[in-house]
Chains A and B, each alone.
Chain A
Amino acid sequence: MEQNLWEALKEVLDPEYPVSVVDLGLIRGVEFAQGKAKVRLTFTSLGCPCTEIIREDIRRRLLQVEGVKEVEIEEVFDPWTAENISPKGRLILLELGVT
């Protein structure tokens, strides 16, 4: 089930760039128990202007996964650096001229 959740999260894109929250390195853990999906989420910065949009997009997408009745998102504020972006994410950003 956790694998399904990860796959679903790969379809949740950053509100500005077409990179998923997984490839951006924002997801710090996924758990599933008794219909409840739990996501540990960090942001690229404390002042990220898109926190609510990202949370909403994650919630909406995970509720579409079969078996998920409830979504709990925990904001963990683990430090994030550009190192956390996956090679795939980096490639997409590079093509858009973002370094």
Chain B
Amino acid sequence: MEEVKKMPLTEEALLERIRSGKLIEGPEYATERYLEGLKRTLIVSADTELISAPAYFRAAQDAPNINAYISATGIIQDELGHAHIAYRLLRDLGVDTDVLVFERDPKEFKHPYAFDVPLENWTELVVANAFYDRAGFVLLGDVYRHTSYAPWKRALVKVDREENFHLRHGERWMEILAQDPDKKKELQRAVDWMFVLTLEWFGLPDNLKRHTDQIAYGLKGLTNDQLRQEWMKTAVPLCERLGLRVPAHYEPDLGQYVIDVPFPAEFDAERKVWLFEKGPITWDQVLARWKARGPANEELVRSIQRGYEQIRKSLKA
């Protein structure tokens, strides 16, 4: 018989529970510190899924035919569903998600900087499906395998399946476009700016970032550098197979992928080009760029918040 404990949980007891492979079923089984870490992680995930929707929707207008458009909007619908899952988990943890989604300043959103750089045509959209959705797949796959928070683990089964389709869609369209010489040039231009932006997505390298809390609490399993490698493991062969140049290659002696350009580097977000000739920059400079957010940030967030503001105004009137 298991006895129900009413005593406040100590940090040590919680860590012991997680180390022994037990899952946390709800806030009553966790500490404040665990819950704060969980909320931070969930907000990043929720914001990322949410903001991908307007970012993809804008580019989907350039779909080459109706079936392609239906696929793109199907993906957007999935992303909104994934966002809903993560916000719902936050609401269950006592977060006011209406305030979070509809009243937060656009600059306070936690989605990756990559989404703040506008996707402007079908080619860029399908590369986003192949690169960005792959990043999401790698990150959420890691959460699914390692998270100690049971409600999230259960919800991610469906998310994982759907992201699979998004990757497939992106890869399939990259294959189609790569067969046309003009489209292939456009594809290469998209790969040139989007590849490194996705590498950046995984965050600070391990020598600058300590994940002790996140990993001890079982909020993630792999480190940033390991996740970046995971992403390259499938993204690089995809591009090589299609005859697209990427600034990374596999180094058999090291047993891992190596980035062939200065990284991190300065990015001209308006022209969507990397200024590699200026040499590597520091991660502090990257963090400053992220914090300032990119060109499409305001537009994307406002497109989500617009309807809520209109309803609120008309209710007041």
User: How many pairs of A and B residues are in contact by the CB < 8 Å rule?
Assistant: 41
Residues of B within 8 A of A53 (CB): 165, 168-169, 172
In the complex, which residue of chain A has the Cβ closest to the Cβ of B176? A52
Q: Given A16-B161, A96-B157 in contact, is the A49-B74 Cβ separation under 8 Å?
A: yes
Residues of B within 8 A of A16 (CB): 161-162, 164-165
A82 interface contact, C-beta 8 A = no
Residues of A within 8 A of B67 (CB): 51-52
For chain B, give the interface size range: 10 to 19
Q: Mask for A34-70, Cβ within 8 A of B = 1, else 0?
A: 0000000000000111111100100000000000000
In the complex, which residue of chain B has the Cβ closest to the Cβ of A17? B161
* Cross-interface CB contact of B74 among A17, A50, A56, cutoff 8 Å: A50
A98 interface contact, C-beta 8 A = yes
Q: Given A49-B75, A53-B168, A53-B169 in contact, is the A96-B161 Cβ separation under 8 Å?
A: yes
Q: Given A48-B70, A49-B71, A50-B74 in contact, is the A98-B158 Cβ separation under 8 Å?
A: yes
Bound Cα distance from A12 to B164, whole angstroms: 15
Inter-subunit contact B165/A97 (CB<8 Å): no
Residues of A within 8 A of B70 (CB): 47-49, 51
Residues of A within 8 A of B164 (CB): 15-16
Residues of B within 8 A of A97 (CB): 154, 157-158
How far apart are B231's CB and chain A's nearest CB, in angstroms? 21
B97 interface contact, C-beta 8 A = no
Bound Cα distance from A98 to B162, whole angstroms: 12
B73 interface contact, C-beta 8 A = yes
In the complex, which residue of chain B has the Cβ closest to the Cβ of A47? B70
Inter-subunit contact A15/B158 (CB<8 Å): no
Inter-subunit contact A50/B161 (CB<8 Å): no
Residues of B within 8 A of A15 (CB): 164-165, 168
Bound Cα distance from A53 to B119, whole angstroms: 23
In the complex, which residue of chain A has the Cβ closest to the Cβ of B76? A49
Residues of A within 8 A of B71 (CB): 49-50, 52
In the complex, which residue of chain A has the Cβ closest to the Cβ of B164? A16
Inter-subunit contact A47/B157 (CB<8 Å): no
Bound Cα distance from A51 to B67, whole angstroms: 8
How far apart are A85's CB and chain B's nearest CB, in angstroms? 16
Interface residues in B117-170 (C-beta closer than 8 Å to A): 154, 157-158, 161-162, 164-165, 168-169
Inter-subunit contact B161/A49 (CB<8 Å): no
Bound Cα distance from A51 to B66, whole angstroms: 11
In the complex, which residue of chain A has the Cβ closest to the Cβ of B78? A49
Q: Given A49-B75, A50-B74 in contact, is the A96-B158 Cβ separation under 8 Å?
A: yes
In the complex, which residue of chain A has the Cβ closest to the Cβ of B71? A49
List residues of B whose CB falls within 8 A of some A CB.
67-68, 70-75, 154, 157-158, 161-162, 164-165, 168-169, 172
In the assembled complex, 30 residue pairs joining A and B whose CB atoms fall closer than 8 Å, in A order, are A15-B165, A16-B161, A16-B162, A16-B164, A17-B161, A47-B70, A47-B74, A48-B70, A48-B74, A49-B70, A49-B71, A49-B75, A49-B165, A49-B169, A51-B67, A51-B70, A52-B67, A52-B68, A52-B172, A53-B165, A53-B168, A53-B169, A53-B172, A56-B172, A96-B157, A96-B158, A97-B154, A97-B157, A97-B158, A98-B158
The 10 closest A-B pairs by CB, nearest first: A49-B74, A49-B71, A15-B165, A16-B161, A16-B165, A52-B67, A49-B70, A97-B157, A96-B157, A47-B70
